[in-house]
Structure 1
Amino acid sequence: MNILLTTLNAKYIHSSLALRYLRAYGRTKGQAYDIVEYTINMPVLSILADITEYRPDVVGFACYIWNIDMTLHVASLIKEVAPKTRIVLGGPEVSYTAETVMAEHPYVDYIVQGEGEEAFTALTQALQDGRTAEDITIVGVLGRTEDGRLVGSRDIAEVADLSTIPFPYDESDMNELTHKIMYYESSRGCPFSCQYCLSGNRNTVRFFPLQRTLQELQWFVDHEVKQIKFVDRTFNCAPHHHIPIMEWIHAADTATNFHLEMEAVLMGDREVELLSTAPKGRMQIEVGVQSTHEPTLAAICRHNDWSHIQSVIRPIIAAGRTHVHMDLIIGLPHEDYERFGQSFDDLFSLQPHALQLGFLKLLRGSGVSRMDAYDYRYDPKAPYEVLATHVLPYENIRFLKHFEDVFERFYNSERLRRTFTYVGQAILQRGESAFRYFEDMTREWLAAGNDKRKLNDRDQLAFLHNFFKKRHDTIAMELLGVDTLYAYKGRLRDEAIGLPPPRKEALKASEAFWRDEASVRRYIPEYSFNEWRRIRHTYAEVTLQRETAKILGVDSTTPTVMLIIDVEERVAPFVRPEVS
C-alpha cells in the first residue's frame, strides 16, 4: 500500500515537523510513508499532478488555517481523478470540527483528531489489513462508511508517553531542509487556558525526556543548522525542564540560533540571567502579551502581571544579547481602538526589537468563537479573521490593518534598526504616545495613496525620509541614510532618501586620503590601496550633525562631521582626516 503524507506550507522556507513525526513513528510499527511538501503559492493542478504521480492508496494531509481551503480543493480533485484513493485529514484545523468537515466534504474518508502518531499509524495498519470504517475503532479517528455514515471516535488523541515517539529528522532531511526553517519541540500542551487559542483546550503539558532533548539539540549543532525554532507552546512552563535546556544552549559551541516562545509571567531571575548573558544571537524569544487591559485579559482567561513583565523584559533588551519579539492581538473583548492604543504604548515602552500586531482569529473549536456576547463579525473562511467586535467597528479594524502594514514595513524591519531605536527612544523621552506617532505615519501613508501602489524599496524609504523631514527630525533622516547604506551595501543612493551622489570636490579629497595607506591603516589595520572604484563602492562618506555621529559612536567637537561608513560593517564609522 502506497501512503503519502503531505501538506501545503505557507512559504517555501517552512517545513513540516508533523509529517516527519508521523514518518518516524510509523517506521517503529513497520509502516513506510513518503513525504512531499508544497506551498499555498503553487498552482492546484500542479500539486494534483505531482501527488498522482506517486499513485498513492492513501493521502494524509496536515491541515492548518493557512492551507485548509486549498487542501480541501486538492483533496476533492484527487477523489475526482482517483476515486479509490483514501483521503485522510489531520491537524489543528480539523481536529475540533471533524464531524462538520466530513459532513460538508463527502470526499474526505477519515479525520485524525489531535496527535496523530499512534492514531494515524493504527489507521494505516487497519487499512492495510483490509478493514473498513465500520470495523475500525481507534481513539481520535473518525471515518466514513460506504453509504456515507460517520463512524468511529469523536475524541481527541493524545500520546501519553512522548518518549515512544522517535526523533523526527534523519540525514536525508538535511539535504532537503538546508535553506528552510527547522522546527523542534521538547514538550506538548500548554498550562494556560487562553480562549483564543486551541492549545488552551486541554490545559496539560507533557515533556520529552530531558537527556534525549539535549542529545537531539547536539545533533542539530553537529549538522550546523542555522536556526531551530521550538514549537513548544509555553517553553518556560517547567523550570526542571527548560532551565537545563537554556543552560545547554547558553554554553553550546555553535552559531545555531534557537527561537523560544516564552511566557514572561513565568520568567524569573535565572531565565533573565541566561538571556542577558548568552552569546549574542544565540537565542531569540517571542513573548505573547496580547493585551494589558485587565477586563480583556479576564474575558479570555489570561493572567498578565504587567509590572513583572516589565521587570524581566527590560534587562534582557538592555543587555542586547537576545532578540525580543513581543505580540499584541487586535480584536479581543472589551478592547476598543483607544484602549488598544494604550496596550500598544505599554509594550512599545519596553522597546522590543519587534512588536507584532496580530488580528484575532476565531478559530473553530476555540473558546472565543463561542463568545456571542461580544458581537463578533469575522470572515467565515480561514483564517477566520475578525472584522468587527462589540467595541471595535470595522472602520477601526480597516485602519489598523494599514497601521500594522506600515509598522511592519518600518519599525519591525531589521534593516532600519538604528533609525527606529532612536525614534522610539525620542518618543519615550518626550513622553509622547508611540501609537499616535505611527498613527500619523499611517495617515500620511494613506494620504499619499501608498496602500494602492506597489512600492519598491526606494519609494518606501523616500516616504519615510519625507515623513521625518516634515517633523524636522534631522537625526532620524541621517540615521535612515546610514541604515540604507548598510542594508543595501551602498548600492541604493538617492537624493530623495538623503544620500546624494558625492560631488567631484569631495571625491578628489577622498581619493587623496585612500591613496595614503599609512593614514588609512590607523582605522583599517589591514588596508592596502587597490582599485579606486571598488573603494568608492565599499566606503561611503556622509556628513552628519554631531548628535547623529554620537549615536554611531563618534564624538565630535564640531557641529557637523564627515564620517566614513564601511557598508559591509567590518569597521566602525570614523572621521575622515584631512590629507594634504
Structure 2
Amino acid sequence: MKFLLVGINAKYIHSNPAVYSLKAYAGEGYEKEIEIAEYTINNRLEEVLSGIYERCPDVAAFSCYIWNWNFVRELTEELHKIKPQLPIWLGGPEVSFDAEEILRACPWITGIMIGEGEETFRELLDYYKGGDSKEGSIGLEDIQGIVCRIGNRILRTEERAPMDMNRLPFLYRDRENFENRIIYYESSRGCPFRCSYCLSAIDKSVRFRDMDTVKRELQFFLDEAVAQVKFVDRTFNCSHSHAMEIWEYIHRHDNGITNFHFEIAAEKLDEEEINLLGKMRPGLVQLEIGVQSANPETLSEINRQADMGRLEKIVNSIRKGGNVHLHLDLIAGLPFEGYESFGKSFDVVYSMKPEQLQLGFLKVLKGSPMHERAQGYGIKYTSRPPYEVLCTSWLSFEEICRLKRIEEVVELYYNSSQFTHTLSVLEKSFDGAFAMFEKLAEYYKEKGYFTNNPSRVYRYEVLLEFALIYGNGEEGLYKELLTYDIYLRENMKSRPGFARNLEGYKEHFREFYNDAFRLREILPGYEEFQPRQIARMTHVEMFSYPVWESGGGAEWKMEKLPKQRMVLFDYRKRSPLTNEAEVRVVEEA
C-alpha cells in the first residue's frame, strides 16, 4: 500500500515537521510505503491535485493549520471527486477542536486525528494494512485519538495520552529534503503558561526530550553547518536547567555559521542566563519575545503575569551586548486595549530597539480560551481562517484598518533595517515612534503608495519627502542620514538622487585609495588588492553632520560639524545582526 502525507506550507523555505515526524515514528517497517508531498499555498490547486493523483495513494493524510485550511478543504473536496474510494484523513490544530462539525460539513473526509498524531497514525497504518498490530487485530474504534465515520455515524474514540518525547525519532536523517529550507526542532512540548489567546493554554503537560539525545541531534546540525535551526518549543526557557544546558552546548560547540532561534519569556531570564547569552558569538542566537501588550489590565485579562519593568530591563541588558538578534511581538485586538492604549504599548516595545518589531493582530483560535470568551469581549473576527480580529469593544474596525497600515510601514521602514539612523532622528519630531509611523501611514495612504508600492530604493525618496514636510531638521541633514543609511547596507552602483554631488572630491578620493601605507592601517586584509579594486569593494562619503552617531538616542543633537568628515564603508566586514557595513571616520576635510 501507499500512504501519502501531504504538507501545504506557507512558503517554500518552510518545511512541515509534522508529516516528517509521522513518517519517522511509523518505523522502518513502513518506510517504503509512506511518501511525503510538500507544496505551498501559492501553488495552483490544479497543480497540487494532479500531483497527488499521479502518486496513486491508497490513503492520504493532510496536516491542517490556519494558514492552509481553506486550501486543504477545497483540495480534498476535489480529490474526493476524482478518487471517491480514497480514504482522506486530516490532522493538526485547525481540525482538532471541532472535528465532528468538520466531518458533518465535509462528507468527503474519512476521519480526523486529534492532538499529537505519531502513535495514532502508526495504528491507522496497521488498520489499513489489514487490521493487524502487535496486539492483534485492530479496528478504528480501537484507535485512540480519532474522530471518524463508521457507517452512518460519527465516532469519537478515547483521548490519547501525551507522547513521551524520547520515543520520537530524529527527523533530519536525510538532509536533501531540507536544502535551503528552515530546520524546525523541538526539545519540549507543552507550555506551563495559560495565555488565553494561545492553543498551548489547554496543554497542561510540559515534556522534555532527553538532554543527551538533544545534544547529539544539535551536533548533527552543527556538523552539517545548516544556516538556521528554529526551536518550536512554546516557551523555551520555562525550565532554567533545560535552557542553560542547551545554550551552553551551542556556545561551546559553535561552528561560526549556524544560527539558533528560540521563543522565550524574557521576564523569566535570570542573571546566569543573561550572562551566558552575552558571551555568544554575534548571530549565534536570536530570541523571539512575545510582549503582546504593555497594558496591565490587558495582560491580567489574557493571563500573562508579565512584569513590564523587569522585562524592559532584561531586554535592554541583552540588547546592549550587541550580539543577540531580538524579535519582539505585539498583538492588536486584545481585551481592554484600545487604539490609544495600543499606541502606548507600541512605544514601550519600540523603545527597547529590537531588530524586529512584529505588529500582529489577534487570531481567535478554535479551542483557545479566547474563543470561548470572544463574545463577552465584543470581539468579531473573520469566519474563515485565520480568524483575525475585525473589531472589539475597545477597538473599531476603522482603527484596525489604521493599525494595518501602520503595520505595513513599520515592516517597510523599521523591520527592513534600512532606515535606522533616519528614523532615529525623525522620531524626535513627533510625540513618539507610534505617532511617527501613524503619520507616515497617513502620508502613504494620501499619496496612494499602498496601492502603487514604491521600489526599495524609491522608499528613501518617499521618506525624504515625508521628513521635509513633518520633520524639524534641515533638508541637508535628512539627505545625509538617508545617504548614510543606504550605503550602510549596499555599495550602490548608481548614486541615489538625494545624495550630494561629490564630483569635486574625485581627485581627493583617488589620492586616498592610492596611499598604500595609509590603506594598510585603515583596511587590514586588503593588501592583495589594487587601489581600483579596493575602491570598488568599499565606498567613501563626505558628511557635514555626525550621522554615524545618530542612533545613539535622545541626546544626539542635529548640529553641523565644524569640518566635514570623510567616512569609509567596508563591505567585507558586516554586522552579523544587521548586515550593515563596518564604518570608519577616516579624516576631516
Q: Same fold (TM over 0.5)?
A: yes
Residue deviations 1:557-577 (CA, integer Å, cap 9, x gap):
734223233344476334368
Deviations 1:364-415 (A, max 9, x none): 1111112111111111110011010011000000000000000011111133
CA shift, 1:298, in A, is 2.2
| d(CA) in 1 for partners of 2:250, 2:140 | 48
Q: Distance in 1 between matches of 2:395 and 2:549?
A: 44
Aligned residue for 2:458, secondary structure, equals helix
Distance verdict in 2 for CA 1:449–1:145, change over 3 Å: same
Match of 2:570 among 552, 563, 566: 566
Q: Distance in 1 between matches of 2:478 and 2:190?
A: 44
1:400 aligns with 2:403: yes
Identity of aligned residues (%): 35
1:363 to 339, 362, 365: 365
Does the CA contact (< 8 Å) of 1:142 and 1:154 recur in 2?
no
Provide the rounded CA distance (Å) in 2 between the counterparts of 1:129 and 1:150. 22
Query: Is the 8 Å Cα contact of residues 227 and 259 (structure 2) preserved in structure 1?
Result: yes
Shift of residue 433, structure 1, vs aligned partner: 2.0
Which amino acid in 2 is paired with 1:176?
N
How far apart are the structure 1 equivalents of 2:537 and 2:62? Answer: 49
Aligned-residue CA RMSD (Å): 2.5
Judged with a 3 Å threshold, the aligned counterparts in structure 2 of structure 1 residues 529 and 127 are, in CA distance, closer, same or farther, namely closer
Instruction: Give me the whole-angstrom Cα distance separating, in 2, the residues matched to 1:467 and 1:366.
Output: 42
Aligned to 2:14: 14
Q: Cα offset for 1:468?
A: 2.8
Residue 416 of structure 2 aligns with which residue? 413
Q: How does 1:449-460 map to 2 (within 5 A)?
A: 449-460=448-459
Distance, in Å, in 2 between the alignment partners of 1:45 and 1:381 is 22
Q: Alpha carbons of 1:410 and 1:158: their partners in 2 closer, same or farther (altered >3 Å)?
A: farther
Question: Partner residue of 1:390?
Answer: 393
Please tell me whether the aligned partners of residues 29 and 121 of structure 1 are also in contact (alpha carbons under 8 angstroms).
no
The residue type equivalent to 2:487 in the other structure is: L
Aligned to 1:140: 145
Mapped partners of 2:347, 2:551: distance in 1: 27
Contact 2:91–2:112 (Cα < 8 Å) also in 1 = yes
Instruction: State whether residues 485 and 492 of structure 1, in contact with CA within 8 Å, keep that contact through their aligned partners in structure 2.
Output: no
Mapped partners of 1:479, 1:416: distance in 2: 8
Matched, 1:440 2:451: no
State the 1:446 CA deviation.
Answer: 1.5
What is the match of residue 202 of structure 1? Answer: 203
SS class of match (1:450): coil
Match runs of 1:193-272 below 5 Å: 193-254=194-255, 255-272=257-274
Stretch deviating more after TM superposition (210-219 or 346-355): 346-355
> Is the 2:144–2:157 contact (alpha carbons within 8 Å) kept by the matching residues of 1?
yes
Q: Which residue of 2 aligns with 1:493?
A: 495
Deviation at 1:500, TM superposition (A): 5.0
Tell me which residue corresponds to 2:556.
none
For residues 292-303 of structure 1, the aligned pairs below 5 Å read: 292-303=294-305
Change (3 A) 1:311 1:189: same
Match of 2:376 in 1: 373
Structure 1 residues 137, 55: closer, same or farther in 2, change over 3 A?
same
2:338 to 320, 328, 336: 336
One of 270, 274, 291 as aligned partner of 1:289 = 291
Q: Which amino acid aligns with 2:155?
A: V
* Alignment partners' CA distance in 1, 2:501 and 2:13: 37
Show the counterpart of 1:323: 325
Cα deviation 1:294-345 (Å, max 9, x = unaligned): 2212222221111221221111011111111111100001110001111111
Q: Deviations over 1:81-120 (max 9, x none)?
A: 1111111110111111111111111111110010000011
What is the CA–CA distance in structure 2 between the aligned matches of 1:165 and 1:543, rounded to whole Å? 59
Contact in 1 for aligned 2:406/2:441 (Cα 8 Å): yes
Instruction: Sort the Cα spacing of 1:527 and 1:482 in 2 relative to 1 into closer, same or farther, 3 A.
Output: farther
CA distance in structure 2 between the aligned counterparts of 1:15 and 1:501, rounded to whole angstroms:
48
Cα offset, 1:477, TM superposition: 4.1
User: 3-state SS of the aligned residue for 2:276?
Assistant: helix
Residue in structure 2 matched with residue 153 of structure 1 by the alignment: 157
Q: Give the CA deviation at 1:514.
A: 2.5
Which residue in the other structure is 1:175 paired with?
176
**How many Å separate the matches in 1 of 2:79 and 2:161?**
29
Give, in whole Å, the separation in 1 of the partners of 2:412 and 2:27.
45
User: Shift in Å at residue 466 of structure 1?
Assistant: 2.3
Letter in 2 for 1:392: L
**What's the TM-score, normalizing by structure 2?**
0.90
Give the conservation status (yes or no) of the 8 Å contact 1:361–1:386: yes
> Which residue type is aligned with residue 506 of structure 2?
L
Query: Paired residue for 2:578?
Result: none
Residue 143 of structure 2 is aligned to residue 164 of structure 1: no
- Distance change >3 Å, CA 319–CA 214, structure 1 → 2: same
Q: Is the CA contact 2:513–2:535 (under 8 Å) kept in the aligned structure 1?
A: no
Secondary structure (helix, strand or coil) at the match of 2:88 reads strand
For residues 149-188 of structure 1, the C-alpha deviation after alignment (integer angstroms, 9 at most, x for no partner) is 2113263x44331111111111x2x123121110000000
Cα distance in structure 1, aligned partners of 2:168 and 2:511:
67
The one-letter amino acid of 2:567's match is L
Output the amino acid matched with 1:139: Q
Per-residue CA distance 1:28-72 (angstroms, 9 max, x = gap): 664542112101101001011111111001111111110001011
* Secondary structure, aligned partner of 1:59: strand
Q: Is the 8 A contact 2:141 2:157 kept in 1?
A: no
Q: Which runs of 5+ in 1 are unaligned?
A: none
Q: Is the 8 A contact 2:477 2:545 kept in 1?
A: no
Match of 1:95 in 2: 96
Amino acid corresponding to residue 219 of structure 1 in structure 2 = F
